[in-house]
Structure 1
């Protein structure tokens, strides 16, 4: 079973893609620490933290139809390179703002919009390119391997970002910018010839194709919406700067440890899933994993000690990784290649909703009810979503295998 992993990494294109993902994710995770700490330091406002997430999400929402079409019509490798160059430029603006002492909350908000716009184009292209690099029988392992790469950077990125921030935000943003540029350089060596199979007319029906496909496939609709609402309600990680500073009474280093804790759990789980991919009862496993995510969120909200908080976040990350691997594999396996860009763009809205919009929701509820009640309410809400979705999407609950389950498309 494990012999497929060496075969996967013997693929030169996949190796380049994998390393490029590490560099890009490393850059973004360090950037998240820098932006989160600096915006809270400038404003002392939970709502400001939420606004950063909202400003990153809005471009993804507004550009959904456009970016999916672009990913299906143009070279996906080139799209990833251009968007990461844009992110490097944006981070450079923040580095310059700190260097000249002209940084402000409004400048960070503008940069958040630019980052959200770049990621709106990057996410569908980046997701859609993977099935073109590996055979379908290795896709589940490839998804887990990419998830491992991302989590390695999520572990090291925030922790190192917190340490680098002690040298000044300028140093942190300059380091993040360098990692984005490194990712672009690595992707230049990716041998990928994109060919449009047929150019469908550009009309509203074509642009809405991804949303229509997800709506018509109850398993995919159930999995992506379950992930969206669960993480939307349980997005406690948006409040980590406040938890670190006001509840646990640590500095940026403590924030870095908290941010990397979910990634520790996710990395361990992704390594396990890469070696032992899910074979049976994937629907039930997904619902159980999301329920554990909700419980871990509640435990984190109740904690007042750094170590216990980190352990709760480790559990949270491990359970979330199970959901991510199942959802990502289902979406890629059941989507025709000529539609992967539009479906991935629509899927990105669900992901963006659960992350950036979840950060806004957490910031608002924290401003209304306080940090600890907001986190606990989110965890309880996640458990409620699991129960409701088990009733609404029986096809997902009864899903047995990741592939070769055609009856799920019509249930």
Structure 2
């Protein structure tokens, strides 16, 4: 709707945000409890802190490997096929995972092999869900509203990150199966939301090249566009090195000794900081010095992570994690806006898939890395060393990619604006 002055005036975008919020709420509740159950089963089975941390690394690895292997294919699928239907299929897979864990936990049949298997399935469905959701969003609003839409979508994401762990941890105390049961219902709500999206604009014609050539084309675009490449890889390395979330069960049980409710609070703190930043950007979108500010935000992310590693006070730890989340959201907002606005629509599925691969490498891959590093040198040293690595990455990227230092606004190149379709209220046959 070209006359819209705010993304929430567009019904399709409202349905999208509701779907994403419900999906994120369920997902982060599930992931928290999967990690908590994995760590506790390992510790109660006689494993040391380091060995149990290795099990957390394995959970991250089992999610990351399918994402890594399938991402080139999933980006092409998002560009070739109906993105709404693809999102629906992935939600059905996540419903099956949540329901399986709910039943197994209620029957006291939860085990490490079952958790490993669910992690693999989640990795597969999330490989397809990411490009479908990300590439769909820019088709719902005019380009001029996209930065605000990204901020609002991020609010839904970050609110899910806040409420999801809180819901998961506290419901787990009531009944260990309850978080998974609620997650199942939320995934159903997300499915309803994505189904409510109607009358998308016509898609740009997909090049009639062989699938492998199209995949290479998407990868080549990322490699050749220094702006897209620099923002994607900066996030990849910084979060890969400094991601402490996989070790929250270790800090909750054995370092800060705050239990399941404390685990919820640790998981919530960075999300609260991220949501506060997203809310700020939805009201006052960032317009100037976007590249330099992204570099500063990632550096702050690294320093706050170092502080968290050495904190033995729960209030201080929560405050530092709040800063971690706020700085990360600052970076995410800038990165997502630049990537979406600097990519033609016919390549957004493939570029979104590459972006998702780096996000998954930094999140699930980072979980595997931090868990393995904790097994080798201990959890405290692993988190501190990761924070140092993130700060070093900022310095290196500021030198390697001058375009990032010099980027002042989100304005895309003229060729991208010309190639992007305009949102429409008329139905089309490709996406109906």
| TM-score normalised by L of structure 1 | 0.96
Matched, 1:277 2:285: yes
Matched, 1:150 2:157: yes
Partner of 2:375: 367
Partner of 2:329: 321
Q: Provide structure 1 residue ranges, at least 5 long, that are not aligned to the other structure.
A: none
Matched, 1:23 2:26: no
Q: Give 1:50 shift.
A: 1.1
Matched, 1:40 2:51: no
1:108 to 115, 132, 150: 115
| Whole-angstrom distance in 2 between the partners of 1:124 and 1:404 | 21
1:58 to 65, 72, 81: 65
Q: Match of 1:169, SS?
A: coil
2:317 to 285, 297, 309: 309
Partner of 2:300: 292
Partner of 1:203: 211
| Whole-angstrom distance in 1 between the partners of 2:414 and 2:210 | 30
Does the Cα contact within 8 Å between 2:6 and 2:145 map onto a contact in 1? no
Partner of 1:187: 194
| Whole-angstrom distance in 2 between the partners of 1:60 and 1:12 | 31
Partner of 2:423: none
Q: Give 1:167 shift.
A: 2.2
- Superposition map of 1:136-285 within 5 A: 136-193=143-200, 195=203, 197-285=205-293
Q: Give 1:196 shift.
A: 5.6
Q: Give 1:169 shift.
A: 2.3
Q: Match of 1:191, SS?
A: coil
- Superposition map of 1:385-404 within 5 A: 385-404=393-412
Does the Cα contact within 8 Å between 1:77 and 1:192 map onto a contact in 2? no
RMSD value over aligned CA atoms? 1.7
1:78 to 85, 88, 102: 85
Q: Match of 1:335, SS?
A: coil
Partner of 2:340: 332
Does the Cα contact within 8 Å between 2:203 and 2:346 map onto a contact in 1? no
| Whole-angstrom distance in 1 between the partners of 2:227 and 2:344 | 16
Q: Give 1:142 shift.
A: 0.4
Q: Provide structure 2 residue ranges, at least 5 long, that are not aligned to the other structure.
A: 44-51, 416-432
| Whole-angstrom distance in 2 between the partners of 1:198 and 1:395 | 30
| Whole-angstrom distance in 2 between the partners of 1:149 and 1:136 | 20
1:343 to 343, 351, 354: 351
Does the Cα contact within 8 Å between 1:79 and 1:121 map onto a contact in 2? yes
Q: Give 1:406 shift.
A: 6.9
Q: Give 1:404 shift.
A: 4.1
| Whole-angstrom distance in 2 between the partners of 1:51 and 1:266 | 27
Q: Which runs of 4+ in 1 moved over 3 A?
A: 192-196, 404-407
Q: Match of 1:197, SS?
A: coil
Q: Give 1:279 shift.
A: 1.4
| Whole-angstrom distance in 1 between the partners of 2:39 and 2:172 | 14
**Aligned residues between the structures:** 405
Does the Cα contact within 8 Å between 2:341 and 2:412 map onto a contact in 1? no
Q: Give 1:349 shift.
A: 0.7
Does the Cα contact within 8 Å between 2:277 and 2:329 map onto a contact in 1? yes
| Whole-angstrom distance in 1 between the partners of 2:151 and 2:71 | 26
| Whole-angstrom distance in 1 between the partners of 2:54 and 2:130 | 26
Does the Cα contact within 8 Å between 2:342 and 2:413 map onto a contact in 1? no
Q: Match of 2:273, SS?
A: helix
Partner of 2:418: none
Q: Match of 1:63, SS?
A: helix
